[in-house]
A = this chain, B = another copy of it.
């Protein structure tokens, strides 16, 4: 891009959030962040390619907002408190109006998550969005995927399947009441990373993961990392009122079990731990390997209906 366009972008992005942990933001060779005493850095990066991970038809605000939340969700899954983020934005051309709207969505997500934009890189090329998120958590006893133990209860936050239904609405595949459509589409375009819940799970949950690939698939990642099996009780799955408007019960089950992009947390609780508000117990940890639901196992189960 021309230098002028770069300066335009820098101007748009330089004000996207501040934080007491940011010593130096956009503008030098690197950003400088401080961590609270006795805390460790948690860092993760997510890349979204136009056409594969997001539709170029989505609004630029939503594309930016969703990209930040998807990345922030990895911090939530580890119980980390937000510090800051980096944006790597590759665009085929510098469309000032699009960039302004993208920056607006980024700013909204920075505010909603507490992740100040501290740096990044803007290049010309095929449209790709990279978000690197940084968080902190007390050093020692981190919340990992690998801590689930036989006998633990398996829990999820909020509702799953909403985002998959929202995408189906956007693609014109299903039609529901205006209120339900509005809610479900927002669940896809404006997901909320469960950062506060994740932090509250520190020292409480034995393991956690965020649901980005789908409940069964992500439960599988957690089970594999922990060396256990997970059994999901389909009848226990929480369904949003909007999703219940979908008449086809089987379709609902597929979305709840295999739909991705919800960015809820799936976690395991020891028998005596109190279930956090807004969360539902949906299964249990058993000996063995893999994930099953009503006798159907992944992979090749609910997975391939998605």
Contacts and interface: CB of A to CB of B under 8 A. Distances in A.
A132 B45 contact: yes
Interface in A213-246: 225
Contacts of A196: none
A41 B45 contact: no
A144 B41 contact: no
A124 interface: yes
A23 B142 contact: yes
Contacts of A40: 23, 32-35
Contacts of A145: 28-29
Contacts of A77: 29-30
Contacts of A73: 29
A49 interface: yes
Chain A, interface SS category: strand
Contact of A120 (B27, B45, B75, B118): B45
Interface in A1-39: 23-24, 27-35
B30 A44 contact: yes
A29 B78 contact: yes
Contact of A126 (B24, B33, B120, B126): B126
A43 B30 contact: yes
A118 B210 CA distance: 19
A32 B78 CA distance: 10
A86 interface: yes
Contact of A45 (B46, B78, B86): B86
A157 interface: no
A73 B35 CA distance: 23
Given A121-B47, A130-B47, A34 B41 contact: yes
A49 B123 contact: yes
Given A24-B144, A29-B73, A34-B41, 19 more contacts: A23-B40, A23-B142, A24-B142, A27-B225, A28-B144, A32-B78, A35-B40, A35-B41, A41-B134, A43-B86, A43-B119, A43-B132, A45-B88, A45-B119, A46-B121, A47-B90, A49-B124, A49-B125, A51-B125
18 contacts: A23-B139, A28-B145, A28-B225, A30-B77, A30-B133, A32-B78, A33-B43, A35-B35, A44-B119, A45-B119, A45-B120, A47-B121, A47-B125, A48-B123, A49-B126, A125-B128, A126-B126, A132-B132
